[in-house]
Structure 1
Amino acid sequence: MPAVFAGESIYDEIYGQLLAFCLLSGLWSFGADAGITGKDSMIQFLHTSVRGVLLGAALLTASVTASYAQLGMTRPQGRQILDGIVAKVDNQIVLRSDVEALYAQETARAEGKPLPPDLRCRILQSLALNKLMLAKAEVDSVVVEDTRVKSELDRRMAYFIQQIGSEKKLEEFYNKPVKQLKEELRIQVKEQLVQQEMQDKISGKVSVTPREVRQFFSRIPKDSLPYYSTEVEVGQIIRFAKTNSKAKQAAQAKLNELRARIQGGEDFATLAKQFSQDPGSAAEGGYLGFFKRRELVPEYEAAALRLEPGQLSPVVESPFGFHLIQLIERKGDSFSSRHILLKPETGANDVSEAAQELTKLRQRILSDSITFAKAAKDNSDDKTSGGNGGLIANRQDGSTYLPLDKLDPAIFFAIDTMKVGSITAPMPYRTDDGKDAMRILWLKSNTPPHQANLTDDYQKIAAAALNEKKTKALDEWFAQNRGTVYLEVDPQYADCKVLSTVN
């Protein structure tokens, strides 16, 4: 993905990755959907109305604005744009920087190709629809719990830290502590989650029948059917490396040492910042905030609730590692705490044990004593793919079909010469959160390049038909509600007809 400003540092690549992260969260980009790529049949097939574009952009805004404007992805020195309010929708505002950030993104994505002359209007339209949804959420009392916001915020921060290399590099690049970055991002994350709740409320129960899928497909002109490149379905079974006893003992001993230091007068928060391996809370001195019962893993919750405010727990083991916990406050059925987390390191012997387990499982599958799907469901440590019969999902459309040219290189080279139905021997693997593991890969299908048809592409066509139906439901909602809010637009955008049309 091109950087917005050419010639900047190598961190432009990270910028692209952060934007990619936002798009991989199930959201669209303006460039393709707004028609920048012209008559491309694939785009016409998957996105059949401008309203679909505006809906996708509305949800995209919170993520892109968060990562671009709020997570340090501001314009480099010398390219600052004077900010100001360009639109008000009830109590919600749209800033000039919001519009310009997305315009800059699309300028870069177009790579010199002409942009639609009304692109800024389209962007403002989508942002205003976004704010309309937030304004109506206030009226309808649609809220998201702070714990959900915190969980999503921690997930994104962990991703950003992983992509840029380390927490220290992240802070150095933005010249801000992680705690401040999280606070700046929190509002954007909360708004996006509220938008998702509103969208689910409006169109979450919409579904399509096989007949509607066939009717949708029959309406697509034959010369507009997309041509798909090679796609594969790949299954995986992952087994985490077992932590050996020496590593566990070392982690426990270190936490006991830290416990003694805290009891001796040292500051818990300072030690958490120095030693905790929880990327979401370490920068905040281990502080987790308030949680209700059953929102944290049972081992942690049980240990925390046995404490009095200010008291330290003994070392506690959970699926995440070993914790030293300090209870801070109880408030009704909620409590706040801080912790220091240590994750015992795995070794070669531990990975070998996982490999042996997978070798035996592979032999059972190949001898037809168990199906791959059943083996994945019962044995894979990756519950997401395991619950899907081991099949890896396409993050963009939710299907199990993966474009060959966009596969993770590790998977591509593993299956490149495999026959359909084959299973690899156990291979080393590291999870997104840094856990050592082994996995086996299964090539379920390999579909050669072809024009879209109902036999090979039913999942994609059904998803497009569902998207069209949901878009209609949202069209109706916007039509009913756009006149119920106060709207004020900067004179510069007076010709944009914000909220005046949904087509």
Structure 2
Amino acid sequence: MFPFPCMPSSFSALRLPLLALLLGTALLASSPAHAQEFPSSEERVVDEIAAVVGNDIILRSEVEQQVQAMRQRLRQQQQGRVPPAEQLWDRVLQQRIDQKVLAAQAAQDTTLSVSDAQVQQYLDRRISRLAQRAGGREALEQTYGKSINQLKANFESQVREQLLAQQFRQRRLNNVRITPTEVREWFEDLSRDSLPTIPASVQLSHVVRRPEATAEARQQAREVATAIRDSARAGMPIEELASRYSDDSGSAEQGGRIQTSLDELVPSFAAVVSRAPVGEISDVFETPFGFHVARVNERSGNTVDFNHVLVEIDKSTSTGEEARSFLKAVRDSVVNQGAPLGLMARRYSEEEQSASQGGRVTAQSGESTLRLEVLGPSWRSTIDTLDVGEVSQPTEVRLLGSENERAYHIVKLTDRSPRHRMNIEQDYARIKNFALREKKQRVYQRWAKKLRDEVYVDVRTGDDDGAGALSMGAR
């Protein structure tokens, strides 16, 4: 049975294996004291084959890395109560075998594909998170003795395999449904003593406006971007300009290079890179993030590869009065004239994610129920003044996921739930998700067992004859 997610607790800073981290199985802690060393290309470290799946192999080192990651995660979630090492080893090995089986089956399905852009996006997101926790990209490179590009190259095939297996699995499980009767039966089977305490939470919608930059700040940013464009057109590599001057920290260390689908870009940026001549330096153009200069390297279908330099507009001197006045007018339309806040958010909100959802505020996971304890002070001080259904006055806020960016918003409190023991009346949607997740797991296990019968699987862990030995340096 799936355990209920536990609240995060403090934990000692341990360096976790990079493969497990890149595959999303654990979080990187900050201390380098327990760093896991990775062999250089010259070293010849003897490894062993743990299992053979079709034409592929699973190395003992891969399993051990993910066992360490799982052990660390379980220590966090279960306050130190961790299953024996043998159980964790078997669990991880079976998961790796299942993934290999799924990937082998998915490779035969011509309707499934994972693009280079998808792989790079996944690796970029993971590397960015790891670098933040390690203290920067240089610290991450020093810890593992490899450049960022080397780290990505080492694990590109594993990530591609994982994404392909996920697609195959999701297609099979997307049609699994659960009835209200099944949900109630699942909940009634739980021990009353095992029911968790649900922290205080809220559901919110809002309309966001960003402060207007002064004319001087806007002009200054445009002039800097124009100078960068002129330098690029005069022959200075845009990669060097991005590394020196770009305010896009996520791509600056890669020379401003990004590979992505056009759908992932804001419309104003996508409009430029979808039409710009390949290999040429663009004119200066503006997006909600600031002024840009870009060079498209390649376009293929909906995927684009480009380098860019971002020059942000300094809004620190803005009073925010225009944003406040605009939001007051929007609030009046909602409160006094009956305009739906969702409609006003779609029309006028400058936060694209929530605007596309009618103003609904969600966590990064997509969950719309937000724990009060994880919202910042600017959010809580506004929410504390509201009853359910009320709309706040315009207030300054640090947006979720953009804590360094000033903005203003009006907030509607859609629902409020105090701290309580989980029950079917208040938490039906949450309980339904748990029950559905467990049902999908049962369906998946039966399906995976059937798929295994169609793929050659040879588990070799425990062999003493050395037949499974493999020199990693010779791979």
**How high is the TM-score relative to the length of structure 2?**
0.76
2:23 aligned to which of 54, 62, 75: 62
Q: CA deviation at 1:478?
A: 1.0
What one-letter code is carried by the residue in structure 1 that aligns with 2:284?
V
Which aligned pairs between 1:165-180 and structure 2 lie closer than 5 A? Answer: 167=137, 170-171=140-141, 176-180=146-150
Contact residue 63 and residue 189 of structure 1 kept, 8 A? no
Q: Partner residue of 1:90?
A: 54
2:152 and 2:32 map into 1 onto residues whose CA distance is: 13
Contact residue 217 and residue 315 of structure 2 kept, 8 A? yes
Structure 1 residue ranges without an equivalent (≥5): 23-58, 495-503
Q: CA deviation at 1:245?
A: 3.2
CA deviation profile, 1:232-278 (whole Å, cap 9, x unmatched): 33333332233443333223222322233234332332222212233
2:459 and 2:36 map into 1 onto residues whose CA distance is: 29
1:77 and 1:453 map into 2 onto residues whose CA distance is: 43
2:199 and 2:461 map into 1 onto residues whose CA distance is: 46
The number of aligned residues is 444
Q: Partner residue of 2:3?
A: none
SS of aligned partner of 1:121: helix
2:390 and 2:345 map into 1 onto residues whose CA distance is: 15
Q: Partner residue of 1:400?
A: 368
What one-letter code is carried by the residue in structure 2 that aligns with 1:95?
L
1:469 aligned to which of 439, 450, 453: 439
2:240 corresponds to 1:270: yes
What one-letter code is carried by the residue in structure 2 that aligns with 1:113?
R
1:73 and 1:91 map into 2 onto residues whose CA distance is: 37
CA deviation profile, 1:52-85 (whole Å, cap 9, x unmatched): xxxxxxx9982127x669x999952689997543
2:432 and 2:266 map into 1 onto residues whose CA distance is: 37
1:315 aligned to which of 277, 281, 284: 284
Structure 1 residues 248 and 172: CA distance shift in structure 2, 3 A: farther
Contact residue 243 and residue 345 of structure 1 kept, 8 A? yes
CA deviation profile, 1:130-173 (whole Å, cap 9, x unmatched): 22222221122432122233333344444455556655555565
Q: CA deviation at 1:211?
A: 4.2
Moved more, 416-425 or 469-478: 416-425
2:371 and 2:273 map into 1 onto residues whose CA distance is: 46
Q: CA deviation at 1:348?
A: 3.4
Q: Partner residue of 2:254?
A: 284
1:342 and 1:96 map into 2 onto residues whose CA distance is: 47
Contact residue 378 and residue 396 of structure 2 kept, 8 A? no
Structure 1 residues 283 and 180: CA distance shift in structure 2, 3 A: farther
SS of aligned partner of 2:204: strand
Q: CA deviation at 1:481?
A: 0.5
CA deviation profile, 1:460-493 (whole Å, cap 9, x unmatched): 1221232233223312311210122222223338
Moved more, 341-350 or 322-331: 322-331
Q: Partner residue of 2:4?
A: none
Structure 1 residues 60 and 206: CA distance shift in structure 2, 3 A: farther
Structure 1 residues 246 and 151: CA distance shift in structure 2, 3 A: farther
Contact residue 292 and residue 311 of structure 2 kept, 8 A? yes
2:264 and 2:356 map into 1 onto residues whose CA distance is: 22
1:185 and 1:73 map into 2 onto residues whose CA distance is: 21
1:132 and 1:251 map into 2 onto residues whose CA distance is: 53
Q: CA deviation at 1:202?
A: 0.7
Q: CA deviation at 1:389?
A: 4.7
Between Structure 1 and Structure 2, the one with more helix by share is 1
What one-letter code is carried by the residue in structure 2 that aligns with 1:379?
Y
Q: Partner residue of 2:64?
A: 100
CA deviation profile, 1:405-438 (whole Å, cap 9, x unmatched): 4544553455356544454441232453554312
What one-letter code is carried by the residue in structure 2 that aligns with 1:102?
Q
What one-letter code is carried by the residue in structure 1 that aligns with 2:431?
I
Which aligned pairs between 1:137-286 and structure 2 lie closer than 5 A? Answer: 137-141=106-110, 142-160=112-130, 167=137, 170-171=140-141, 176-184=146-154, 186-220=156-190, 225-286=195-256
Contact residue 244 and residue 347 of structure 1 kept, 8 A? no
Q: CA deviation at 1:197?
A: 0.9
Contact residue 63 and residue 188 of structure 1 kept, 8 A? no
What one-letter code is carried by the residue in structure 2 that aligns with 1:465?
A
Structure 1 residues 247 and 455: CA distance shift in structure 2, 3 A: same
Percent identity for Structure 1 against Structure 2: 30
2:81 corresponds to 1:113: yes
2:342 and 2:390 map into 1 onto residues whose CA distance is: 14
Q: Partner residue of 2:94?
A: 125
Contact residue 51 and residue 461 of structure 2 kept, 8 A? no
Contact residue 364 and residue 370 of structure 1 kept, 8 A? yes
1:469 and 1:281 map into 2 onto residues whose CA distance is: 41
CA deviation profile, 1:114-145 (whole Å, cap 9, x unmatched): 53452221222222222222222112243212
1:75 and 1:338 map into 2 onto residues whose CA distance is: 36
1:448 and 1:431 map into 2 onto residues whose CA distance is: 21
Structure 1 residues 430 and 393: CA distance shift in structure 2, 3 A: closer
Q: Partner residue of 2:320?
A: 351
What one-letter code is carried by the residue in structure 1 that aligns with 2:23?
A
2:46 corresponds to 1:76: no
1:139 and 1:387 map into 2 onto residues whose CA distance is: 36
Structure 2 residue ranges without an equivalent (≥5): 1-7, 40-44, 465-475
1:308 and 1:423 map into 2 onto residues whose CA distance is: 47
SS of aligned partner of 1:349: coil
SS of aligned partner of 1:488: strand
2:312 and 2:428 map into 1 onto residues whose CA distance is: 44
Q: Partner residue of 1:29?
A: none
1:493 and 1:420 map into 2 onto residues whose CA distance is: 64
2:159 and 2:178 map into 1 onto residues whose CA distance is: 30
SS of aligned partner of 1:468: helix
Moved more, 228-237 or 164-173: 164-173
2:157 and 2:289 map into 1 onto residues whose CA distance is: 28
What one-letter code is carried by the residue in structure 1 that aligns with 2:66?
L
What one-letter code is carried by the residue in structure 1 that aligns with 2:174?
G
Structure 1 residues 252 and 179: CA distance shift in structure 2, 3 A: farther
CA deviation profile, 1:261-315 (whole Å, cap 9, x unmatched): 23433233222221223344333323335x7777755655554566555432221
